[in-house]
């Protein structure tokens, strides 16, 4: 955490100039400027005075939740390959295991399949981006092709296999995360 940067954000949010904040805390504008650029660090007592001048306190300042990342790029994707099952797994959202759902992009080579997943609480959703697949749920089989989707409660063993002659791509969302 960059304390100075966070102080600057709070000051701007409060519509205060550096000089106004400095006056509230009996500090100099130069000190506030250096602090906001992380060129100096305040003592605990000084930090408490600054935070009081900004209408907050130490506990709230350090417990503030960081901004949630909303958009993810290809640089955020984590990829694993499994030669035995002939698939590539793309985790689209970093650390999605801590969320309530986990979206992945599953790429299955011809005759490839996902690993069999055991019954669990939650649901599974998928959208076939390309190719043709078979969704195995317990003893049932369901075919889906490009442009079709699937949805089921994960109360039985389940997995997906590529039944086509070309690579299949499936956007697959599991809740709770279990990939």
Provide mean pLDDT across the span 41-56.
94
Q: What is the DSSP letter of 113?
A: B
Q: What is the pLDDT of residues 6-37, one digit of tens each?
A: 999 999 999 999 999 999 999 999 999 999 99
Report whether pLDDT(65) > 80.
no
Q: Which two tokens stand for residue 152?
A: 């089921």
Return the SS3 of 159.
strand
- Enter the pTM of the model: 0.64
Q: Quote the CA–CA distance of 135 and 113 in Å, as a whole number.
A: 10
Q: Which pLDDT band holds residue 4 (cuts at 50, 70, 90)? A: very high
42: pLDDT confidence band, cut at 50, 70 and 90?
A: very high
Is residue 42 exposed (0-12), middle (13-18) or buried (19+ Cβ within 10 Å)? buried
The DSSP secondary structure of 54-66, one letter per residue, reads: TT--HHHHHHPPP
Q: What is the pLDDT of residue 64?
A: 63
Q: Check whether 176 has a pLDDT greater than 90.
A: no
Cβ neighbour number for residue 28 with a 10 Å cutoff: 13
Q: Tokens for 106?
A: 């599953």
Among 106, 110, 122, CA closest to 159:
106
pLDDT tens column, 103-121: 999 999 999 999 999 999 9
User: DSSP readout, 9-70?
Assistant: HHHHHTT--HHHHHHHHT--HHHHHHHHTTSS---HHHHHHHHHHTT--HHHHHHPPPPPP-
Give CA torsion, residues 99, 95, 58, 10, to 10 deg: -90
Q: Give the pLDDT of residue 98.
A: 73
Strands 132-137 and 158-162: antiparallel
């Amino acid at each position: 955490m960059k304390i100075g940067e966070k102080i600057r954000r709070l000051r701007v949010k409060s519509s205060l100039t550096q000089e106004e904040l400095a006056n509230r805390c009996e500090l100099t504008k130069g000190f506030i400027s250096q602090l906001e650029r992380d060129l100096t660090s305040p003592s605990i007592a000084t930090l408490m005075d600054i935070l009081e001048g900004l209408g907050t306190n130490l506990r709230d300042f350090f417990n503030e939740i960081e901004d949630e990342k909303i958009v993810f790029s290809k640089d955020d994707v984590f990829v694993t390959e499994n030669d035995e099952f002939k698939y590539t797994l793309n985790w689209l959202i970093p650390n999605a295991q801590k969320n309530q759902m986990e979206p992945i992009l599953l790429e299955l080579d011809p005759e490839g399949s996902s690993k069999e997943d055991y019954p669990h609480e939650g649901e599974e959703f998928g959208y076939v981006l390309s190719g043709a697949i078979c969704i195995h749920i317990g003893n049932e089989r369901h075919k889906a092709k490009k442009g079709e989707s699937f949805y089921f409660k994960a109360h039985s063993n389940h997995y997906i296999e590529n039944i086509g002659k070309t690579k299949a791509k499936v956007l697959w969302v599991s809740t709770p995360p279990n990939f």
